[in-house]
Structure formats: structure tokens, C-alpha cells
Chain A
Amino acid sequence: MATDLTQDSTTSDAALGEINKYDFITPSHDVFKAEKGLNAGIVAQISEMKNEPAWMREFRLESFKIFESKPMPNWGGDIGIDFQDIYYYLKPTNEQGRTWDDVPQEIKDTFDKLGIPEAEKKYLAGVKAQFESEVVYGSLQEDLGKKGVIFTDTDTAVREHPELLREYFGKIIPPSDNKFAALNSAVWSGGSFIYVPPGVKIEFPLQAYFRINAEQMGQFERTMIIVDEGAEVHYVEGCTAPMYTTESLHSAVVEIMVKKNGRCRYTTIQNWANNIYNLVTKRAMAYENSLMEWIDGNLGSRLTMKYPAVYLMEPGARGEILSIAFSSKGQHQDAGAKVVHCAPHTKSRIISKSISKNGGRSSYRGLCKVEDGAVGSKSNVVCDALILDSDSRSDTYPYIEVEEQDVQVEHEASVSRIGEEQLFYLMSRGLTEAEASSMIVSGFIEPLIKELPMEYAVEMNRLIELQMEGSVG
């Protein structure tokens, strides 16, 4: 069957990271495709295709109006998107979109280098509509079910758990929040829905792969996690293998509610193809003595704009946001974090690390807001940028708004170029220049890698090594 591999014009640049040179693959085998472009009719059609209840259809149509009325953000990066040139809904098909033989050798080699298991490779390359999770994870799902945990895709949740979902859906991130949140609200599809009942602690990380009967990860995913009182969950999104989507816009919304004494950790590692605009809104509400952690690794993409947020709503709530951004030629990572201290004795910590090479651009954009009355609150922000060559660039835009006297807000920022002295030191011990810079980069991100689950840490390191290959000289 016909598979069209369109490669980016930068492919010829051998210095470019191994991974990001693959562009998108266009499948030719969809059962249903809404027509290109966006209007109220298409939005209604999406809702109809999904057999949604009236309230969701209304929500979508209302969101579409907001989307139309909102201007594009005038900060961040250059967003060159033609909204009428995108398919907004592809009905997932049970047939295979393409076969393993159709997947280009280069991509297979990259999977091998990353050590991705056979079954996952096919999923990632879009050969399988979904990872064959039933066999492997069936017992796991059963176990979660017994504890009252709900772990499904969001479309299913609309049908099967409407009362739970409706309580928070579009409330943590209202469609009016920003243009892309409005767009997602109008056309969303797929994503995970997780509910963890009071006191239930899930010992292992939940991953999107584990989901049964899930729609394939899409471009407008909508994820919601509700962590009830005293409950704990760690959710892992994405993977370090290159992500292929048929369209150049990825715009997800993630809403999280962490109730009293609950804990939630949300880990993302994404490596996008070079043509992708990755514009994501992520926000969590953290209540009394709860803890919300975002761990976010962003590689690739043409432009990523992503600022995971934590609203600290009640006393003792804590928020932590750790992020790594790596940008290379033709890539702009505009990433950061947002914390809002709304209650006394709340704490936040933001650590952001960015690496720019081969003309890549990384920006840190962060907001720390302490509202009037949030006495005794503490916030600590550290952002470090490492620039590997003189073509690359890094900027820092920290915004601090403090409306309360009795608080402690610290901000440190550093930008460093890979030092000649450090390179020389390592080389004087026999490391090549490439090995030395790769080692300096791994050292730079080590404090964050330590926080990742073991297998992700290993993959992330390998991925950075691949990105670094041939980057100097």
C-alpha cells in the first residue's frame, strides 16, 4: 500500500540529530476522515461520529466559538499554522494502516538504537492501531479495577463515567484559557482518563500503552486525572521514540485534580518530528497537603509551547515542575512552568534545564504568582541553559508577581556555553571532543534524569547521546 514519506528539507544536514530528520508519514487507509478544515459543521460531525451526549456537543460548539474569537498568542514562537489545512478527526480504524515492511529502514534502525521492544516498535511506527496491551496488561487492569481505579480513554469515560468526568471537564482549563485550549475543547479525541479512589496508592507508573481499547494517541488528546483524598498515582505519557503524526499540529489539554493529601506525578518525554507544532496546555489543582509533580522532557518539534501549571489551592499544597528541553536546528522550545500560590504555607519548586545546539533555540518562560494572603509560602525557581555553539540561542523570561509580604521567593538563572576548559579537561584524559561534549551535556541534565523512572532515564540518556552524535567538529 502506498506510504508517502516526506522528508524535511533539513535532512541533508548530517549534523542534525538522528531522530528528528524523519518527517511525517501519510497513511492512505482511513475508514473515515472528516473533511479538511474547521467549521461548526465539522465540530458537530465529530461529536456525532462519537455518539456523544448533548452536553459534550454543546461544549464543543461553544469552545469552537471561543476559538474563533481568540487571537493567536503574540508571544512564544512563530506559529505558522493554516487551520484550514488540517484534518481534525480521523476515525480510528481496526485495519492496519500500513505494514512493517512499509516502515523506512532508517526508522527501524532508530528503534533498534533505542532498544525499543518489538511489539512497541510496531505500535510506534503506526503499524498497529494500538499496542497489544490486552495480553500483557490484562491482569494489571483487573487488579486496578478491583481497587476501584478507572483507567480508560477519555471518549469511553464520556460514555461510562459522565458524572465523574463532568465535574471537572473544562473546569480546570476552561476553553477560554487560550486559543489552543479552545481548539482542543472543540475537536478533542482520545487521551487518558484516570480516577484513583480515596487512599488507593498505585505502586507502578501507569502508561498510556496499558490502556485497553484506547484510541490511538492523537493530535488533540484530552487527558484528565482525578486523584482523590490520600490517593497516589504516577502517570507516564509518551515515550522517547520519535513520534509520528499525520498532521503538523499537536495540541493537547491535560487537566489534573489532586485532592487533600493526594499525590500525583505526571511524566512526559516526547520527541517530535521536525514539522510539528506542539502547543499543549497542562494544569493541575492541588488541595490541602497534596503534592503535584510535572516532569517534562521535550525534544524535537518545530515549535513547542508548554508551561505545565500548578495552582496551590489550600494550605500545605506543594507543586514541583522539572523540565528538560533540547532544541536543534530548526527547532524552538518555548517551555517553562507556572505556579500560583493561592493559600498560606504552600510550596513550589521549578527546575528547568535547556540545551541548544546547531542553531536551535530554547526559551524558559515561567510565572510564579503569590496571591495576597498566601502567607508563609515558598517558591524556588532554578533555570539553567546550556548552549553548545554560537549559532544557538537561549532566552529566559521569568515573571514573578508577589502580592504578599511574608513569603520567600527565589529565582536563579544561568546560561552557559559549553566551556573550552571543561572540554579540554575531559579530552586531556583521552575522551574525544564528541564524547566530552556528550558527557558534559549528560552531566548538565543529570539532576533531572535522576527523577525519572529507571527505564525512562536510560532511554532519555540514549536519546540525548543520539542527538549529540556528530554535533561537534
Chain B
Amino acid sequence: MTDTLKISDLHVAVEGKPILRGVNLTIRRGETHALMGPNGSGKSTLGNAIMGHPGYEVTGGTIALNDGNVLEWDASERARAGIFMAFQRPMAIPGVKMADFLRHATTNVRNPDRKEGEELIPMRQFRKELTENMEQLRMDVEFARRYVNDGFSGGEMKRAEILQMAMLRPKFAILDETDSGLDVDAVKLASESIAQIGSDAGGGEKMGILIITHHDKLLDRNAPDFTHVMLGGRIVETGGIELARELYTDGYDRIRAAYPEAAAAEESMTETATV
């Protein structure tokens, strides 16, 4: 059976304020999904809720990974079950070296039943893999010795997120605006790397990928099987790659006109957001 991540009628509130209002989305391994939508429509909220951010309260609906009830797991357990998210704004952890953090993370994700204090993956093997992946992403080896996201440029942060995806080899990856803040060449490299990493989640199997983006470049190499449009905390329309093409050339006017109820919700959300 193909691994499946199934989100049904998901409602999420942030600080008591409803943001997602009934999201349905099913991703199978091997599929690439694009998620588009205006700023503030709830795309990052969906990603954070899937990853288990404690600030995003699920007030209704379900998230299932095959038979597993994802909502019962904390973020760590979700990561170990094979869910990954490259964040739009990754956190800095001063004083913690990328390499130390990644070795720990990689060990836990590959050996989900590892108890605290048990052996980490051997240094030699880890180094080799890390170096290979960094070369692939054209990152300087020095990078591994820097503190996690501390003083990174926008581009470095995004690259570091892709590096983590490469090391952790999840079953499902959510990429939240991994192309923003990158120059043209860097987006091209990111796009290629994601395609390459996504094609092998270990054992020759592909990942299921959800790409949140406003641009076409990331989708060049990662042609979506499905494109979803989010508006006012709901997925209002789903199509193929042609829908993505329409949106990044024409914008969301047609969508807003076609779904007045979601457009109204969007307006009320942005009003409260700007207060």
C-alpha cells in the first residue's frame, strides 16, 4: 500500500482565532502537490499544523498517516514517522552547531525507537553523507560548523532547510516558500536539488511533496500532479499544472470572484491580522 497522508476537514486556530476552516487534502507518496494562495490565506498554518507546532491548535478534523493518528503525536514523533517541513522562517539556535544538531536529528529519524543516550550514527558515516549533500547544494564545508540558522542570510537558511531534507529523507516533505529570498541561480539549484532528493526517500521510493510557492521556478523541475488554491483558510479549487500556470500569471482575481464566501473570510482574517 502506498503511504498516504490524509487531512480531513481540518480546523485550526491560532491564539483562539480560527484560521483554517475545513481543509481536505490527500497526498500519496510519489505525488507532488503545489499549494498556492494569497498571503495570509493559511498555507503556512496548514504546514505548521501538520508538523505539530503547539501554537496551532487543531479544533476539528483529522490528520492521518496511513492508520496512524498524527494528531496524537508531538512534533518529534511526527518527524520520526517521516513528516518533514522546510520552514518559511527557520529558527536560529545560537551556540548549537549545524553538524551536531543534524547528527542527532538524523540518528533519531533513522532509528525512530532510539532511546535518549543511545549511540548516534557513526561520525565517519555521518560526515561522508553530510559532505556529499553539502557539495550537491554547493555549500561550503565550513557551514557545518556554524550555529543553526544563526546569522544566516535568507538564501543560506533556505539551503540549510533543503540540506536537512536531504539528510532526513522523509516520506512526506512540506516546503514552505523555500524559493523566497533566493536569486535566480539559487532557485534553480534549489529546484534541482528538491527534485533529486524527492525522487529518493530511501529504498528507491519517492517522497510525497507539498510545495508552497508563489513562483513558477520551483515547479520547473517539480511539476505538480495537483495544484491547490487556498483562500480564507480553505482549499477552494484543485487542478493540474495548468492551474498553477494560470495563478502565477493572472493572480487570484478569478478565484476570489468564484468563491465569494472564502473571499469574505479572507477579508475578515486580514482585517484582524492587521489590527
Where the two chains meet, the residues of A that have a C-beta atom closer than 8 Å to any C-beta of B are 419-422, 424-436, 439-440, 442-447
The chain B residue with its CB closest to the CB of A440 is B93
Query: B224 in the interface, Cβ–Cβ < 8 Å?
Result: no
Name the A residues within 8 Å of B147 (CB-CB).
443, 446
**B51, B94, B95, B100: which has the most chain A beta carbons within 10 Å?**
B95
Name the B residues within 8 Å of A427 (CB-CB).
52, 74-76, 79
B93 engages A430 (CB within 8 Å):
no
Contact of B109 among A424, A430, A442 (CB under 8 A): A430
How far does the Cβ of B88 sit from chain A's closest Cβ, in whole Å?
Answer: 12
Name the B residues within 8 Å of A424 (CB-CB).
52-55, 75, 91
A443 to B74: give the CA distance in the assembly, Å.
Answer: 23
Query: B85 in the interface, Cβ–Cβ < 8 Å?
Result: yes
Query: B87 in the interface, Cβ–Cβ < 8 Å?
Result: yes
Question: If A430-B76, A439-B96 touch, does A419 touch B91 (CB 8 Å cutoff)?
Answer: yes
Query: B116 in the interface, Cβ–Cβ < 8 Å?
Result: yes
Name the B residues within 8 Å of A443 (CB-CB).
93-96, 147-148
Name the A residues within 8 Å of B80 (CB-CB).
430
Given A421-B91, A424-B52, A426-B93; 17 other pairs, CB 8 A cutoff: A422-B93, A424-B75, A425-B90, A428-B85, A429-B79, A429-B105, A429-B108, A429-B168, A430-B76, A430-B108, A433-B76, A436-B76, A443-B93, A443-B94, A443-B96, A445-B95, A446-B95
Query: B164 in the interface, Cβ–Cβ < 8 Å?
Result: yes
B96 engages A440 (CB within 8 Å):
yes
- Give a binary string over B45-89; 1 marks a CB under 8 Å from any A CB, 0 the rest: 000000111110000000000000000001110111000110100
Name the A residues within 8 Å of B78 (CB-CB).
428
**A428, A442, A444: which has the most chain B beta carbons within 10 Å?**
A428
Main secondary structure of the interface of A (DSSP, over half): helix
Name the A residues within 8 Å of B112 (CB-CB).
430
How far does the Cβ of A396 sit from chain B's closest Cβ, in whole Å?
Answer: 19
Name the A residues within 8 Å of B53 (CB-CB).
424, 428
B74 engages A430 (CB within 8 Å):
no
Which residues of B from 86 to 131 have beta carbons under 8 Å from A? Answer: 87, 90-91, 93-96, 100-102, 104-106, 108-109, 112, 116
A329 to B116: give the CA distance in the assembly, Å.
Answer: 23
Question: If A421-B91, A444-B94, A446-B95 touch, does A426 touch B116 (CB 8 Å cutoff)?
Answer: no
How far does the Cβ of A221 sit from chain B's closest Cβ, in whole Å?
Answer: 33
A432 to B104: give the CA distance in the assembly, Å.
Answer: 10
The chain B residue with its CB closest to the CB of A353 is B95
Question: If A420-B54, A427-B74, A427-B75 touch, does A435 touch B116 (CB 8 Å cutoff)?
Answer: yes
A433 engages B108 (CB within 8 Å):
no
A432 to B112: give the CA distance in the assembly, Å.
Answer: 11
B54 engages A430 (CB within 8 Å):
no
Name the B residues within 8 Å of A440 (CB-CB).
93, 96
